[in-house]
Chains A and B, each alone.
Chain A
Amino acid sequence: DIQMTQSPSSLSASVGDRVTITCQASQDISNYLNWYQQKPGKAPNLLIYDASNLETGVPSRFSGSGFGTHFTFTISSLQPEDIGTYYCQQHDNLPRVTFGPGTKVDIK
C-alpha cells in the first residue's frame, strides 16, 4: 500500500500569514492527490483535487501543487475560518485510497 506522510503535524500562524503544508507519497502517484479540510466536529470537505485543481466554490487563497511523490498545499492569507485539520489523500493506487495523517492548523 502507498503510505502518505504530512508535515508539519500541526502549526500555529497569524491571520494573514502564508501557510504551507507538505505531503509525501511513498511511491510515484502522478498527480492523483486530493486535499480536504475538516473543521472541528464536521465532515471533511474537498478543497483541491488532482494536486492543483481548486474545487468549485472554494476560496482562491487555497492552492495546491506537486507531482510524483512531493506535494504542497498553501493558504496564501490565513483567515480565522480556516482553523481545522487538513488531509491529503492519494487516489492513484485504487481501490486502496489512503489519507495522510493530517495537519492541524490554529490561529496564533
Chain B
Amino acid sequence: QVQLVESGGGVVQPGRSLRLSCAASGLTFTSHGFHWVRQAPGKGLEWVADIWYDGSQKYYADSVKGRFTISRDNSKNTLYLQMNSLRAEDTAVYYCARDRARAVLDSWGQGTPVTVSS
C-alpha cells in the first residue's frame, strides 16, 4: 500500500525559509515522478512543482519559480521542497502526490500546513 507522509510544515515569518519532506513507502520510489500541490485556506488546489523519476527534470509554477526548489533523495525514498523567501500568499497546506504517468496523481499524502506570518 502506497503511503506518503509529509512533514516540516509550521509557522514562519515572511522572508524566511522552510523545507518540507515527503517520505514514501509501499512503492518503487525510483519509478515515479512526484508533485507538490498546495491549497490555501478555503481555496482550491494549486500545482506547485514536479520532478521526474530520476530527478533530471524539475518544473515550477510561476508563483514559486526562483524561490522554491524541488528535489529527491532516491536512497531515502524522500521528496523535498525547499521554500525560500516565503510570502504570506504561500500560506497553505502542502501535499505531495505520486505521478503514476503523465500527471495522473494517484496517491497523495495527508498534507503539511505552512503559515507565513509575522
Q: Could you list which residues of chain A lie within 8 angstroms of chain B, going by C-beta atoms?
A: 32, 34, 36, 38, 42-46, 49-50, 55, 85, 87, 89, 91, 94-102
B44 touches A95 (CB 8 A): no
Please provide the chain B residues from 50 to 91 with a CB less than 8 Å away from any CB of chain A in the complex: 50, 57, 59, 61
Which residue of chain A has the shortest Cβ distance to B51 in the bound complex? A95
B27 within 8 A of A: no
Number of interface residues of B (CB under 8 A): 22
- Bound complex: CA A41 to CA B108 (Å): 13
**Residues of B bordering A, CB below 8 Å:** 35, 37, 44-47, 50, 57, 59, 61, 95, 97, 100, 102-106, 108-111
The 6 closest A-B pairs by CB, nearest first: A95-B59, A91-B103, A43-B108, A97-B47, A99-B45, A102-B44
Q: Which of A32, A42, A101 contacts B44 (CB 8 A)?
A: A101
The distance in angstroms between the C-alpha atoms of A85 and B39, with both chains bound, is: 13
New contact pairs (7) apart from A44-B95, A97-B50, CB-CB < 8 Å: A34-B104, A44-B97, A85-B44, A89-B45, A94-B103, A96-B61, A100-B44
Q: Which residues of B contact A100 (CB under 8 A)?
A: 44
A98 contact set on B, CB distance < 8 A: 47
**Is there contact, CB below 8 Å, between B106 and A46?**
yes
Contacts of A43 in B (CB 8 A): 95, 108-111
CB distance from B92 to the nearest CB of A (A): 13
Indicate if the CB atoms of B102 and A91 lie closer than 8 Å: yes
Give bound CA distance, A87 to B97, whole Å. Answer: 15
Contact partner of B106 (CB less than 8 A), chosen from A55, A95, A97, is A55
Contact B108 A97 (CB under 8 A): no
Would B35 and A97 count as touching, CB distance under 8 A?
yes
Are B106 and A99 within 8 A (Cβ)? Answer: no
28 contacts between A and B (CB under 8 A): A34-B105, A43-B110, A43-B111, A44-B37, A44-B45, A44-B105, A44-B108, A46-B104, A46-B105, A46-B106, A49-B104, A50-B104, A87-B44, A89-B103, A91-B103, A94-B102, A95-B59, A96-B47, A97-B35, A97-B50, A97-B103, A98-B47, A99-B44, A99-B46, A100-B44, A101-B44, A102-B44, A102-B45
